Amino acid sequence: MGQNTLARDFMMQKLNDRQIALLKQTFIDFQQTSEFLKTPLVVDKAQGLYYWDSEGKKYFDAIGGIYVAVLGHCHPRLIEALTQQAEKITLAPPLHGTSNVTLDFVEKLAAITPGNLNYVKPFSGGSEAVESAIKFVRQYFKQTGHPNKYKFITRYLGYHGATFGAMAASGTGKRKTKFEPQMAGFLKLFPPTHYRDRFSSWEECNRFSARMFEDIIIHEDPDTVAGVIIEPIGNIGGMITPTDEYFTILRDICDRYNVILIFDEVITGFAKTGAMFAAQAFGVTPDIICCGKGVSSGMIPLGAMVAREDMADAFYGSASDGIEFAHGHTFAGNPLSCAVGIAVIDEIVEKRLDQKARELGAYLAEKLEGLKSYGVIREVRGKGVLRGVELVKDTASMQPYPELGEAMKLCALKNGLIMRVDPTWFAVAPPLIADKADIDFMCELIEKSLSDALAMVR
Ligand SMILES: Cc1ncc(COP(=O)(O)O)c(C=O)c1O
């Protein structure tokens, strides 16, 4: 059955002529508008765990927007922080100063990051944070006696943002080739899932995959390699979750070759994994963390790069040195965004939402494991409430099943469920205001969508 027929049969959201005309005046991210119009989603209202579309239909938001709303939508504490700040100061361009609330945010974020990651540069989202980390590391090596260190090693299936540097770091194939040539100096290797069938154990596969970083560094010439950029849990690829040892090996390699280890925690940050950052969940301390998404729970654009304090020292001198960080954005450290960021961190810390993510995550994982009885699930991966489920044709062949994912996407929308479907895997990251009953409800919707989808494709 073709998608057109499916969409018609499913009676997706009906848009009026004005909405359709306006959708043709804009773009949906990474999607063809004509395809989007077949199964559109135009939302009007969001509260807590739910969205409502413009026809009034209610959807359970199993993915917190898109790994963003860790405190659910429109959390009252964040609305209060935002409105109180709006009455005080809303703009302090970082070109000629900063605001007290921005400094408070710097202090707050530094306090929850691991190790001596105390240098904080706030931005307006994940791509900006990654882009700035790339520039920060290159400039750092230029002014610390290693001017030839400029290359970054990243992974296929990694996504680090849509801007040019972050895109060059990403391993997302066709999403990138439209814009070639890419920025030079980005080398790629595969995440452990790529090799898993060649090893008798996941642990051994992870050891092999982690050691590949060293092979690349040696063969590229360690004097030219500046950094490794990696998502601790890889979203594209369906929540690729390495072993703790993978990161221990990688940390050791980076130390031995003076290579900066950058964790892109834009998805994994802010308690979803059961720790404030995935770095803490895996027991490893990177040199830089890039964050975004959950730091504002979606109330307002916010992101940040957090770096080792001693790296930042290399940018501190006199005006004549020319070693100031040559980077900036008008809205970086915006007072409104920072006020919300502070409130998000306070709420997570005070309510121990990291602990809640561990407990709720274990419960969720068990329920998702239960779906294996359908015979089309290879693995349930992830940590805490951040979970991905890999779909296969059958567990004997383990062949991917994109048709099932495509059908599941439609069935989920029909059933009032919003989640990420790629289509060889699906993922959820329910906001941490959810309780067990909400997880039960969400899993019922997932199971119904899976069984409806199977009925369609079989
Ligand atoms: C891991 C990761 N890094 C970076 C980004 C880019 O963040 P933004 O879309 O806020 O620019 C994303 C966005 O999805 C992401 O998932």
Is the CB of residue 133 less than 8 Å from the CB of residue 139?
no
Radius of gyration of the chain (CA): 22
Write the pLDDT tens digit of every residue in 250-273: 999 999 999 999 999 999 999 999
The CA 264 to ligand 1 mean position distance, Å, reads 9
**From ligand 1's centre to the CA of 303, what distance in Å?**
10
Structure tokens at 247: 């990161």
Distance (angstroms) between ligand 1 centre and the Cα of 298 equals 13
Site of tokens 């003076």: 258
pLDDT per residue as tens digits for the range 235-255: 999 999 999 999 999 999 999
Residue 319, pLDDT score: 85
Span 100-133, pLDDT tens digits = 999 999 999 999 999 999 999 999 999 999 999 9
pLDDT of residue 12: 81
Tell which residue, 135, 156, 138, 155, has the closest CA to residue 147: 138
Count other C-beta atoms under 10 Å from residue 218's C-beta. Answer: 12
As for ligand 1, residues whose beta carbon falls within 6 Å of it are 125-127, 130, 159-161, 231, 235, 264, 266-267, 292
Q: What is the predicted pLDDT for the residue at 1?
A: 44
Closest CA to 153 of 235, 243, 214: 214
How many whole angstroms separate alpha carbon 252 and alpha carbon 225?
15
Nearest residue (CA) to ligand 1, atom 3: 160
Q: Which of 132, 266, 299 to mutate to test the pocket of ligand 1 (most atoms within 8 A of CB)?
A: 266
Distance from Cα 161 to the centre of ligand 1, integer Å: 5
Task: Retrieve residue 9's tokens.
Answer: 């049969």
Residue identifier of the C-alpha nearest atom 2 of ligand 1: 160
